[in-house]
Structure 1
Amino acid sequence: MRSRYCIQCQKAHKACLCSTIVPLSSAVELIILQHPTEVRKPAGTARILTLSLKNAQCLVGENFTDHDELNALLREPDVCHYVLYPGDDSECVGVIEPPQTEQQRRRVILLDGTWKKAYKMWQLSTNLHSLPRLHLPESLQGDYRIRKAPRDNCLSTVEAGYHLLSAWQPHLDFSPLLHSFEQMIQFQLAQMPPEVRDRYPASD
């Protein structure tokens, strides 16, 4: 019996993202820690990053303190690890840009979930607390208009990844990530009744 979901993007076949994906190169590696409730959400965006970037991977869970795979990655030598999670002791990605060499790679951890769930993941995952924290410029505006956000500058996981990678690698073009994101949004809007769809603002 055929699965309802695409084996690549893990979305329902009619919502498959694969045709919008463009393979991209990035020297900065990404680890996405995804809350279990995000795995099958039609509007989830983390999969765009892992499909587009060879050195991006997704781990599912809530408490990663004793997560064997993550801890093995954190123990790898000659890798600078960071967590993209705002706070009083976090630094803006536009300010910090450590050098990257063949001997010293950069790897950034993103938390994928609602703000409430991401906060719980952060609180539970004590193995992240000793890592340097990063935040994106507060002036950025998200376009995740089909999901509620507490503030205008709240970004989807793929938008956060896009801005991070673009800030640290301005010579590379990561705009295909946003194209896939917009295609996903347009598909979700098309599934809504007109009277519901009209409540959502158009993309800038």
Structure 2
Amino acid sequence: MTNSYCFVGEDFTHHTELNQLIGDSDYQHFVLYPGETSVNYQVVKNTLTKKNKVRVILLDGTWKKAYKIWQLSSNINELPQVHLPPDLEGNYRIRKAPNKNSLSTVEAGYHILSLIEPEMDFSPLLTAFEQMIDFQIRQIPQEVFARNYR
């Protein structure tokens, strides 16, 4: 069963509820962050056979904001880092990204969940995401969209 939690802020070092979750020894914790010491998602998948519960933390925000959260939150920064396969490409067409394989949080969540639990269907995440993007694009005047997003 997949549980999700959502916390708002920048520095989670002293965040009581998050620290309780991280302190739960029934789980192996990872942060989905493509840092220099990050390991391939396969390590997380292999952990499932050794210890049945895995919790992956995603940092939501712009790349700059995620980096700030990463820098400020020593509790998150101390967790093992995991990254997704490098050949994945994001489809967040209305945002500028550092490179083609930069994913939105929803896309990253979809991919890590699908890789860890391939027997489950997480496609509704991407369907809702695509519908949100299409809605936002329809709100942008066509000439502005053509000039800035194509």
- TM-score, length-scaled by structure 1: 0.68
**Deviation, structure 1 residue 128:** 1.6
Counterpart of 1:24 in structure 2 is none
Percent identity of equivalent pairs: 58
Shift of residue 95, structure 1, vs aligned partner? 4.8
- Find out whether 1:134 has 2:67 as its counterpart: no
Task: Quote the offset at 1:196 in angstroms.
Answer: 1.8
2:8 maps to 60
| C-alpha distance in structure 2 between counterparts of 1:56 and 1:136, whole Å | 19
Cα pair 2:32 2:59 within 8 Å, conserved = yes
Paired residues for 1:11-90 under 5 Å: 27=1, 29=2, 55-90=3-38
Counterpart of 2:94?
Answer: 146
CA RMSD of aligned residues (A): 1.7
Structure 1 SS opposite 2:13: coil
Kindly indicate which of the two structures has a greater share of residues assigned to helix. 2
Unaligned runs of 5+ in 1: 1-26, 30-54
Mean Cα displacement is larger for which, 191-200 or 106-115?
Answer: 191-200
Deviation at 1:162, TM superposition (A): 0.4
Higher-strand-fraction structure = 1
Partner residue of 1:158? 106
Instruction: Normalising by structure 2, report the TM-score.
Output: 0.91
One-letter amino acid of the structure 2 residue matched with residue 179 of structure 1: T
Opposite residue 116 of structure 2, the aligned amino acid is W
Which residue matches 1:180?
A: 128
Q: Give how far 1:81 is off.
A: 0.7
Is the CA contact (8 Å cut-off) linking 1:100 and 1:106 kept in structure 2?
no
Show CA shifts across 1:143-197 (max 9, x none). Answer: 0010111111110000000000111111111111111000000100111112123
2:54 aligned to which of 96, 106, 113: 106
User: Whole-Å Cα distance in 1 between the matches of residues 52 and 127 of structure 2?
Assistant: 31
Alpha-carbon distance between aligned partners in 2 of 1:130 and 1:95, rounded to the nearest angstrom? 17
CA contact (8 A) 2:27 2:54 kept: yes
For the residue of structure 2 that corresponds to 1:99, the secondary structure is: helix
**Structure 1 residue 58: deviation in Å?**
0.6
Task: Give the match's secondary structure for 2:6.
Answer: strand
Question: Residues of 1 paired with 2:8 and 2:132: CA distance?
Answer: 22
Deviates more, 1:86-95 or 1:120-129: 86-95
Where does the alignment leave 5 or more consecutive residues of structure 2 unmatched? none
